[in-house]
Amino acid sequence: METKKFLLIVVFCLLISSSDSSLEYEYYRGSCPQADHIISSTLRRIYDQNPAVAPAILRLVFHDCFVQGCDASVLLDGTDIMGSEKDTPPNQSLKGFDHVDTIKAELESVCPGVVSCADLLVVAARDSIILAGGPFYPVLTGRKDSNRAFPDISYELPSPMDDLPTNIARFATRGFTARETVGLLGAHSTGMIHCRFFEKRLYKFGGTDQPDPSMDADFAELLQSICNNTHSHSHSPSPSPSLSPSSSKSHQEQAMKMDYEGTGSGFGTLYYRSLLQGRGILFVDQQLTAGEETASWVRQYASDVSLFRRDFGKAMMKLSNTNVLTGANGNVRQICREVDSSLW
């Protein structure tokens, strides 16, 4: 097993060696050799008490990297002179910030001022995927943290109601192909999705009196029974809500498990099979079957788990290396929520 993992590391690192030469495998081997172990062991301890941490961290890294790059800007609280990405509508349902704080505190107790929040987030996201039943992939490190947030750019995040052309165009602006987009959306294999993010598909879709015709009729009835007419409540345009975990049982917070066929029963593969059956929960997911190229990848991932896991790992590595800050271009926050006051 270790030999196989080593070969994967070599192959993947060769594949992305040109993405950012400033990042390294085991960047902290001299300054904080325990960093990966601290992150993984602390995350595992949290996960054993609260499995919802895995999809929460995964969603955080997507919302961080997709905005201005993987710089931990999504973790920053607002101040009198700086807005926060957390406060924008696409990010208001994000969770997991307290868990990031816990992991960071463990790192600071052993290696103060060494490991960046940006690196913490991408490593924790990889480990979260493994905990959710997804594939291992190597993570290069050496990222630095941003000293500001980018709330205005948060509105460029994908929406759960994006049609296929819009979705493909959004990912293309970040350098992702249609194939990579289909692969990345396989992350919607885990977590909870609140009814407010897909209820428009269930009632009077497109100005009609019927549900979305691309949804299997029996599945639509199931979702209607779960949501219990929450469509009378207000909507939030938060994107990628499938990764937002919640155990709330209130009327407004009725939710559907993304892995409704059973946790860990087939990360990715069952997601794509459900799309082929018209049982995608989010409109943006089901739309992957609306185009010839994307539908082809849906079919291939549904039938070939090895292909999906390989492509998903490569796409996550590419996402994790998006527009990173390195060297003197960033800093290392001691508290992930705060920028050092000396930098203002």
| pLDDT, tens only, 300-316 | 999 999 999 999 999 99
Q: Do 252 and 246 touch, CB atoms closer than 8 A? A: no
| Residue range 50-65: mean pLDDT, rounded | 96
- Inter-axis angle of helices 305-320 and 117-131, nearest 10: 170
* Average pLDDT score over residue span 115-132: 97
Examine the pLDDT at 179 and tell me if it is beyond 60.
yes
Q: Which is higher by pLDDT, 293 or 191?
A: 293
26 — alpha (psi -120 to 50), left (phi > 0) or beta?
left
- Confidence at residue 7, expressed as pLDDT on a 0 to 100 scale: 47
Amino acid at 171: F
Give me the mean pLDDT over the 254-260 stretch.
76
By CB neighbour count within 10 A (0-12 exposed, 13-18 middle, 19+ buried), where does 324 fall?
buried
Determine the pLDDT at residue 258: 77
63, 99, 188, 194: the active-site residue = 63
Average pLDDT, the chain: 87
Who wins on pLDDT, 265 or 151?
151
**In the predicted structure, residue 247 carries a pLDDT above the cut 70:** no
pLDDT of residue 262: 54
Residue 317 near residue 139, CB atoms below 8 Å: yes
Phi, psi of 337 (to 5 degrees): -80, -15
What's the pLDDT at 3? 47
Residue 186 has pLDDT above 80, yes or no: yes
Whether 343 has a pLDDT exceeding 70, the answer reads no
Cα separation, 159 vs 138, in Å, equals 28
- If you average pLDDT over residues 103-108, what whole number do you get? 98
Q: How far apart are CA 257 and CA 243, in angstroms?
A: 10
Residue 236 confidence (pLDDT)? 39
Task: Tell me how far apart the alpha carbons of residues 325 and 316 are, in angstroms, rounded to a whole number.
Answer: 18
pTM: 0.86
Torsion over CA: 134, 137, 141, 144 (sign):
negative
Q: What is the three-state SS of the chain?
A: CHHHHHHHHHHHHHHCCCCCCCCECCCCCCCCCCHHHHHHHHHHHHHHHCCCHHHHHHHHHHHHHCCCCCCCHHHCCCCCCCCCHHHCHHHCCCCCHHHHHHHHHHHHHHCCCCCCHHHHHHHHHHHHHHHCCCCCCCCCECCEECCCCCHHHHHHCCCCCCCHHHHHHHHHCCCCCHHHHHHHHHHHHCCEEEHHHCHHHCCCHHHCCCCCCCCCHHHHHHHHHHHCCHHHCCCCCCCCHHHCCCCCCCHHHCEEECCCCCCCCCCCHHHHHHHHCCCCCCHHHHHHHCCHHHHHHHHHHHHCHHHHHHHHHHHHHHHHCCCCECHHHCECCCCCCCCCHHHC
Residue 251 bears catalytic tag: no
Mean per-residue pLDDT for 193-200?
A: 90
| pLDDT over 70, % of the chain | 83
Listed ranges 10-14, 130-134, 228-232; the one with the highest mean pLDDT: 130-134
Which comes out higher in pLDDT, residue 66 or 343?
66
Is 319 or 228 the better-scoring residue by pLDDT?
319
Closest CA to 74 of 47, 94, 52: 94
CA atoms of 58 and 125, how far apart (whole Å): 5
